Amino acid sequence: MTIENAQKTVDQWIKTIGVRYFNELTNMAMLTEEVGEVARIIARRYGEQSEKESDKNKDLGDEMADVLFVLICLANQTGVNLTEALQKNLDKKTKRDAIRHLENEKLK
């Protein structure tokens, strides 16, 4: 699925199953909550915190998809074309960081 297709698919889902978009502030709060769930899994599964029994069956991919879904909702609501935005962002990073990381001693 392309990013463009994902934006259209989420929009159609919202309009047919979700009834309507939550407002932008509600979706921002939801995005923060979903990112927190991803952070919890990563911190406990890959970090130094011990993983609770209740967290062991959590699906990291599913939680990341929740983040992506809400991010796409926000993009749709605010008129952001994520395909164009990502390409523009990558172009900016490529120009800015063309040699920066290559010269970073910490990365060698």
- pLDDT, one tens digit per residue, over 37-53 is 999 999 999 999 888 88
Alpha carbon distance 66, 105 (integer Å): 36
The pLDDT confidence band at residue 99, using thresholds 50, 70 and 90, is: confident
| Domains in the chain with CATH codes | 3-81 (1.10.287.1080)
Using alpha carbons, select from 71, 67, 68, 74 the residue that is nearest to residue 23.
74
pLDDT of the residue at 11: 98
The pLDDT confidence band at residue 86, using thresholds 50, 70 and 90, is: very high
Residue with tokens 């967290």: 55
With 90 as the cut, is the pLDDT of residue 105 above it? no
Average pLDDT over residues 13-26: 97
Q: For the chain, what is the mean pLDDT?
A: 95
User: What does pTM read for this prediction?
Assistant: 0.89
